[in-house]
Structure 1
Amino acid sequence: MAAGNLVRGLQHEIDEDPAAAPVLQPLKDRAERILKDLEERKTTGLAAMDQLAALAAEKDAAMKAARDSGLSARAFAVAWVLREDAAVKAAGIDPMTLAKDAEELHGRFPNASVNADEQRRLRASLYKPLLALAQDERARVVDLVVRLLLAEGGE
């Protein structure tokens, strides 16, 4: 079944490139939901095929956008995850610009994943491009960005 192949393919890509997981995992989760709906007869085979085709196209578009961005997989994940964030949108912050800033800052603090002082300095530096956000939203976004940048595996 094509759906099973899509789920397995996405899982393989996540396993091969953990830094891409923030982009691929939501697509894999949606593909699994489509499969479950099909099994439980909540959707028809044709509707499921259409949904899976749309998911495959979304995945291709995301991977093309990642390649075209010039960013590392982790920095692109920052932009991808924040592109639909309501607070970031409302503040008029461009997720791609934020991702580029985050990647540059991560380059200045390359040991942030193992050095508490570097991680503190990375976090502090990330607050500046997020000043348009309310304080609690700023802290939430900084936590998210740091988690994505310093995730286990990948590059």
Structure 2
Amino acid sequence: MVINHNVSFRRRVLFLNCLAVQSNKVLYLKYYLDSHSNMSYYTDAGGVINMSENKITSDLLRGHTDTMILRLLSEADRYGYEIVKLIAERSDGEYELKEATMYSSVRRLEADGDIEWYWGDESQGGRRKYFRITEKGKAAYARNKSNWEYAKRVLENLL
């Protein structure tokens, strides 16, 4: 396996520490670290998978933005930029939520009664608008997550 220098160190370590299994067969991974090449590995079926071609498109996550926001708010109250920043961090930079998309979701969640907001007491800088999840939002998050897990199982059987 040849590692791309553009791929984060954390992702390289996680990838190298994972055991790749496909159809109950261990993919024979041969690795070589070279900071100036593309990250790829060879499968036992003779195929080559170029990891730099793997991308999370907005189409894959469309419809799940509300659930991602509800997940973050179930952990703690958060302000808008913090939500955007956390989604980028937790996806290891693979997915970046645009602020406009985040605020559209927040307005929708607020209209549905899933979240509410309040002004924070910032001692320095401007006041921030914080969002918190409601009981209705917690139920919506649990329902959406359950639906996602079901869809994931179905897709794993199909792909």
TM-score normalised by length of structure 2: 0.27
TM-score normalised by length of structure 1: 0.27
* Structure having greater relative contact order (Cα 8 Å, sep ≥ 6): 1
Identify, as 1 or 2, the structure richer in helix: 1
